[in-house]
Structure 1
Amino acid sequence: MNTPRRTLLKLSAATLGGLALGRPAWAQQPASTAPSGPIRIVLPYPPGGSTDAITRFIADKLGASLKTSVIVDNRPGAAGMIGAAAVASAAPDGRTLLFTNTALIQSPLIQPQPLYNPMTDFEPLTLVADAAQVFVASDATPAKTLAEYVEYARQNPGSAYGSLGVGSTGHLYGELLKRKANLNIVHAAYKGDTAAIADLLAKQLPAGFVSTVMAKTYGDAGRIKVLATLGPARVPSMPNVPTFTEAGFTGFESIGWIGMLAPAKTPAPLVQRLSAEIATIVKSPAGARMLADSGMLPRGTTAPEFGALLKRDQQVWQALVSQSGIKVAS
């Protein structure tokens, strides 16, 4: 979309939003706070995997609640930046939403020319869930603990570790581990859990960071080795897996999240309605169960609460980028 047209769309939406706010929000009919047509949820990752399943679950429930069609548009690439940029440039009418994860904040921090500004180009809707990641090794890697992996990596300089993209949580923490343990390991970026797990199972990837559900599924089946989890505490679904801190490495306490956002300047009534609808879905028995089964902690926050988290995250991940030394060449 060219700049003049984008500007015109945003000005038109802002004008309409201002007119709507001329009378008390509670005095409006519910229909006036809902998007005026089909909704598209952009997921910046490929089909398959737990995040895709969660997005489609929410899309189905949201469509039923708002009595409209809601589709999921998978747009992988550039560690989530391509899909996020598409939403940032969309009309702020509530009909294009973004379902993403912590990479929304992380990716622009290491890119010389970011495709969007995470703090100004979006309206937060709701934090869907907290989502930890787990460091695992392939069956061919002779390591059953994080300490054993570190020793393996020292004896095999140049071995690869995988993550869900450049600038992702796994990438940042992999480079931090590389520095703290003085390892010579090489980052391998994947577009999603499915591709990373495939290479781990094929014994083409020695180790990597994957979602908790993938770690538990294939770890319980004995097909990969689950070494350590990120975060301040053990994951409830994997109580026997130690945290990085318990394994002797501090600085790995922050975890990721998944959440929903809209383009900047989306009118407040639309933001409030969408935020409430999605939070309700997340907190429903079926929604909470699905998220818990995926190894996540269901949240369903308000828009302001999610916005406050994004501001805190900006500082946390900026500091970690500095510690890890990650830089992407222009």
Structure 2
Amino acid sequence: MNTQRRHLLKLSAAMLGGLALHRPALAQTVTGPIRIVLPYPPGGSTDAITRFIADKLGTALKTNVIVDNRPGAAGMIGAAAVATAAPDGRTLLFTNTALIQSPLIQPQPLYNPLTDFEALTLVADAAQVLVASDATPARTLPEYVEWARKHPGSAYGSLGVGSTGHLYGELLKRKAGINIVHAAYKGDTAAIGDLLANQLPVGFVSTVMAKTYGDAGRIKVLATLGRSRVPSMPNVPTFAEAGFSGFESIGWIGMLAPARTPASLVQRLSNELAAIIKTPAGSKMLIDSGMLPRGTTAQEFAALLRRDQQVWQTLVAQSGIKAEG
């Protein structure tokens, strides 16, 4: 009996010790409201997705989650606000590939994308599409190139300096031998507005905007970036299919926290966010927006960021974009 009692006492002590050991990790959770910074203006698919996730995250963590739109400097203003925020899990960043691209272009980067953030999850892969206004006669990418040759100095729009559209627009300019001028916009809504008003000949926009207004016959969808066609627009060729290689890398949307956020918090937030993305409602929203839902681990997203740094650095060099100032 004494032997059995001693065994039970040791087992109880071990269990209590284990609980004590893990108590800091269990207690390490987000307390208070959470702010998700989106470095783009309200409106558009990314804003809608951010608000969807904010609502579901608030329910999961039993706290208020608000979306704070902070546009400017090709996404760097909002990203920098998160980079300098307290690493307590209460300030998060919902952003896209511009997180990597913008510092490669801007003369004075406001943050280092690989050291100033903790990756949480890759939300989705997101291609962009080149579309033309109703006033632009081109209906295919080759037709647009021929039109652009006859109209030197015509503009093309993108979602900011150093964005995916900007990089690929300059690459197309070089490969096709056309003289086109970049016009930077702060979001899809502004670019689409000028396309619909025939103030912008062509522009790179999100797949959901391209599909919405393309299906309505208000813009013409020319070609999509990426290695394969967008499932929601199966009749739209890729740049490669239209005769232009080198436009295969696409963008993404994802969520991050400030650097030095405790590992237990990163894990908790990553798990909650990935679960939201993988719900039927979350996946449907992303697919309807022309994206491929992912919901990766924090480690997988961090690895993607490191690979992207090399990919976009190469494309910056190929596009010929030079930092000014």
State the TM-score bracket (shorter-chain normalisation).
over 0.9
Could you tell me which amino acid in structure 2 is paired with residue 142 of structure 1? Answer: P
Contact 1:33–1:273 (Cα < 8 Å) also in 2: no
Q: CA separation of 1:306/1:137 partners in 2, compared to 1, >3 Å: closer, same or farther? A: same
User: Are 1:271 and 2:266 matched, yes or no?
Assistant: yes
| Identity level (%) | 83
Q: Which residue of 1 aligns with 2:96?
A: 101
> Shift in Å at residue 251 of structure 1?
0.3
Alignment of 1:144-155 (within 5 A): 144-155=139-150
Alignment of 1:74-93 (within 5 A): 74-93=69-88
Q: CA separation of 1:104/1:248 partners in 2, compared to 1, >3 Å: closer, same or farther? A: same
* From 156, 159, 166, the counterpart of 2:161: 166
> Shift in Å at residue 25 of structure 1?
10
Q: Which residue of 1 aligns with 2:216?
A: 221
> Shift in Å at residue 23 of structure 1?
7.0
The 3-state SS of whatever aligns with 2:157 is strand
> Shift in Å at residue 328 of structure 1?
2.4
Alignment of 1:229-240 (within 5 A): 229-240=224-235
Q: Which residue of 1 aligns with 2:130?
A: 135
TM-score, normalised relative to structure 2: 0.93
The 3-state SS of whatever aligns with 1:290 is helix
CA distance in 2, matches of 1:51, 1:152: 32
Q: Which residue of 2 aligns with 1:6?
A: none
Q: Deviations for 1:20-68, whole angstroms, at most 9, x for unmatched residues?
A: xx97899348862321111000000000000000000000000000000
Q: Deviations for 1:207-236, whole angstroms, at most 9, x for unmatched residues?
A: 010000000000000000000000000000
User: Are 1:304 and 2:304 matched, yes or no?
Assistant: no
Q: Deviations for 1:65-120, whole angstroms, at most 9, x for unmatched residues?
A: 00000000000001100000000000000000000000000000011110000000
CA distance in 2, matches of 1:308, 1:99: 18
Structure 2 spans left out of the alignment, 5+ residues:
1-16
Q: CA separation of 1:319/1:23 partners in 2, compared to 1, >3 Å: closer, same or farther? A: farther
Contact 2:133–2:198 (Cα < 8 Å) also in 1: yes
Q: CA separation of 1:152/1:26 partners in 2, compared to 1, >3 Å: closer, same or farther? A: farther
Q: Which residue of 2 aligns with 1:7?
A: none
> Shift in Å at residue 163 of structure 1?
0.2
User: Are 1:203 and 2:198 matched, yes or no?
Assistant: yes
Q: Tell me how many residue pairs correspond in the alignment.
A: 309
CA distance in 2, matches of 1:165, 1:131: 16
Could you tell me which amino acid in structure 2 is paired with residue 262 of structure 1? Answer: A
- Structure having the higher Rg: 2
Contact 1:163–1:190 (Cα < 8 Å) also in 2: yes
Could you tell me which amino acid in structure 1 is paired with residue 221 of structure 2? Answer: V
CA distance in 2, matches of 1:259, 1:174: 24
Contact 2:29–2:265 (Cα < 8 Å) also in 1: yes
Contact 1:132–1:231 (Cα < 8 Å) also in 2: yes
Root-mean-square deviation (Å)? 1.5
TM-score, normalised relative to structure 1: 0.92
Q: Which residue of 2 aligns with 1:323?
A: 318
User: Are 1:69 and 2:71 matched, yes or no?
Assistant: no
* From 237, 259, 262, the counterpart of 1:242: 237
Could you tell me which amino acid in structure 1 is paired with residue 310 of structure 2? Answer: Q
Q: CA separation of 1:82/1:24 partners in 2, compared to 1, >3 Å: closer, same or farther? A: farther
Contact 1:25–1:269 (Cα < 8 Å) also in 2: no
* From 33, 38, 50, the counterpart of 2:33: 38
User: Are 1:125 and 2:144 matched, yes or no?
Assistant: no
Structure 1 spans left out of the alignment, 5+ residues:
1-21
